[in-house]
Chains A and B, each alone.
Chain A
Amino acid sequence: MSKPAVPLLRVKNLSVEYRSDLETVKAVNGISFFLKKSETFGLVGETGAGKTTTALTCMRLLPENTGRVTGGEIEFEGKKLLNLPESEMQKIRGERMAMIFQDPMTSLNPVMPVGEQIEEALKLHNEDNKTKDRIQKRVDEVLSMVGIPASRKCEYPHQFSGGMKQRVVIAMALVCEPALLIADEPTTALDVTIQAQIIEMIRELRERLGTAMIMITHDLGIVAQTCDNVAVMYAGKIIEMGTAEDIYLLSANHHPYTMGLFGSIPNLRTKARRLTPIPGLMPDPTNLPEGCSFSPRCFKKTSVCDEVSPGVYRNGTHRISCHLLKAENHWEAERQ
């Protein structure tokens, strides 16, 4: 904590829209965060909160004809990603920054042996002219690192189970030892036992390789297990951000949405016939409400919430964007 390390990734005021002829979807609305080397950053929120869009924007993989960055900047290893030409971006992707996709069933090419898919990134980023044997050796190494016998690399994706496929996908992302790994819901498509194995493996690999990671998920348990810092997203905004302790400490102040999220986790010890969900749905991203986007569902809503968008309040490492904190001690308004 003595010297502020240079962040590996810094996202500042990023806004992203999806435009079609009929409507404009405001997917991400001015989010900022940064990520240091070998740190894990959790991005949580409901479906449609803009988590995946944020990740795709960092990789510059937004769908070309609809996705548009309308503001902000992304800095990665000192480079401003949004202005880089595509050819430069291709060098960064896979080599410095890699992504694990959500669904292992569809993110592997069905007609290519898995070994070839893993070596693809190595071959594309082969600046130092590694020999074929070296590449093969590295593929074997990565495969055994994720717990798949290297002898299976000539097999096709359909010959693997779901958990094994996800391991292959992770091996693909790790083969070049990237500085930043973006994991977009890496365990959503898997059952719980495999989930635990994969999370454990990701954690181990991170420790071994020192890779920084953005963990996108809607599973609060996974975040608690793996992340150093956490941001809660709602309707394209970060509404609460802090260290994992800040977010998970029940006695601390929280955004009403975060409280709602935690409240909807089933608890074995208390008797309840039903879960307690947050009432209502996320606002329509083509037509966001004025003021706080969460106000229509908020149980602590006041009249000001419908009119003024809340600023960010800060207490140490913990930041919350909610009007309620104006009245709290230790919390001060932050202006960026």
Chain B
Amino acid sequence: MMRAELNSEAPNTAADILVFKKESRWKEIWRRLKKDRVAMMGLVIICAVIFLALAANLIVPYSTALKMNMKLRLAPPSAEHWFGCDGYGRDLLARCLHGSRVSLLVGFATSFATLLAGGMLGALVGYVGGKLDDLVMRALDIFSSIPDTLFAMAVVAAMGPGILNICIAISLTNIPGFVRMVRSSVLNIAEQEYIEASRAGGASVMHILSRHVLPNAVGTLIVQTTANVASMILTAATLSFLGLGINPPQPEWGALVSEGKEFLRTAPHLILIPGFMICAASFAMSVLGDGLRDALDPRLRT
């Protein structure tokens, strides 16, 4: 009786539900993210920074960022040069704008690469465990026993400077820590009964990892990745400072800060302005990450 009734109605309701669900998943996350004012502020800042980086050439030509003018050496901010000029009389606004391209590229690319490689490796060794776990973790221990900067320097020195090589070097130094973090959070999740329930339903390892383990670890992944963006920008700056990163005339946020520190007493704006840019970008990333984590967690929905 019940079944017959259900069947006559089912196509209709099923279709409705399907449509409703498909729309609501992402819409709902967006709706909940919108409610989080701080996260939205972060999103606006990030979008603005990315927009400025993309449009840098339209705002000021790249040549402005390289043009020296000794008359304007260490000039404070003025109507003509909003951010003032650096030790060679180059316009700091132009340098900051063009510098953001490299910094953001390095920050995002390396964080993403770390997330992908570290996340997959960490989830796999954490879930599978046993000999694979031992092997991978001991290998990573060897990597992390080398100081980060030294390791990155060695990689860049071996492969030569250039944005791609810097990205590879920075990603490699950060992967061991990321793997360890993902692994510990996966170890927790793997013990949950719903994982066993899914195995009892006939699921394979890859299915469990992608459908159950990673979605439950997504909060940790997002928070760590967004925090990484800022620290990767700074690592890139360290490499530039050591002469292994971006080649000198080319601007980059980290490099701007390290150039500016010579004039800390006489022209503090040289260090304050690019420093503020790095702060703003990393702050925006972390609040956006926090907001995303909350929006993605169905238990926190309101």
Contact = CB atoms under 8 A, between A and B. Distances in A.
Q: Do the two chains bind?
A: yes
Contacts of A255: none
A154 B193 contact: no
A91 B211 contact: no
A140 B10 contact: yes
Interface stretch (A41-49, A96-104, A215-223, A302-310): A96-104
Given A110-B299, A137-B14, A154-B24, A61 B215 contact: no
Contacts of A141: 3, 6-7, 10
A92 interface: yes
Given A65-B130, A101-B197, A90 B10 contact: no
Given A64-B130, A133-B15, A137-B10, A111 B200 contact: no
Contacts of B141: none
Size category of the binding interface on chain A: 35 or more
Interface string A53-69: 00000010100110000
B197 A144 contact: no
Interface in B97-140: 129-130
A262 to B, nearest CB: 31
B79 interface: no
B20 interface: yes
A123 to B, nearest CB: 9
Interface string A209-239: 0000000000000000000000000000000
Given A107-B194, A150-B17, A90 B203 contact: yes
A282 interface: no
B249 interface: no
A125 B301 CA distance: 32
Interface in B1-60: 2-3, 6-7, 10-11, 13-15, 17-18, 20-21, 24
B200 A94 contact: yes
B201 A98 contact: yes
B21 A125 contact: no
Name B's interface SS: helix
Contact of B212 (A95, A103, A112): A112
Interface string A139-152: 01100100000110
Nearest to B216: A111
Contacts of B67: none
B105 to A, nearest CB: 32
A111 B297 contact: yes
A137 B200 contact: no
A91 B200 CA distance: 10
B129 A93 contact: no
Contacts of B147: none
Chain B, interface size: which category? 35 or more
B193 A172 contact: no
B197 A172 contact: yes
A144 B215 contact: no
A106 interface: yes
Contacts of B216: 109-111
Contact of A137 (B11, B198, B202, B203): B11
B302 interface: no
A156 B215 CA distance: 14
Given A137-B11, A154-B17, A108 B203 contact: no
Contacts of B6: 140-141, 144, 150
B13 A151 contact: yes
A113 interface: yes
Contact of A124 (B18, B129, B207): B207
Interface in B196-231: 196-204, 207, 211-212, 215-216, 218
B298 A156 contact: yes
Contacts of B201: 93-94, 98, 120-121, 124, 172
A169 interface: yes
A158 B13 contact: no
A225 B3 CA distance: 26
A315 interface: no
Contacts of A133: 11, 14-15, 18
A13 interface: no
A141 B8 CA distance: 12
Contact of A121 (B129, B194, B202): B202
Given A110-B299, A158-B299, A95 B200 contact: no
A107 B202 contact: no
22 contacts: A59-B200, A93-B199, A93-B202, A94-B201, A94-B203, A101-B197, A102-B193, A112-B211, A121-B202, A133-B11, A136-B18, A141-B3, A141-B10, A150-B6, A150-B13, A150-B17, A153-B17, A154-B17, A156-B301, A169-B197, A172-B201, A173-B200
Interface of B: 2-3, 6-7, 10-11, 13-15, 17-18, 20-21, 24, 129-130, 192-194, 196-204, 207, 211-212, 215-216, 218, 296-299, 301
Those 10 A-B pairs whose CB atoms lie nearest each other, nearest first: A94-B202, A94-B201, A93-B202, A121-B201, A156-B298, A106-B193, A99-B200, A107-B193, A136-B14, A109-B194
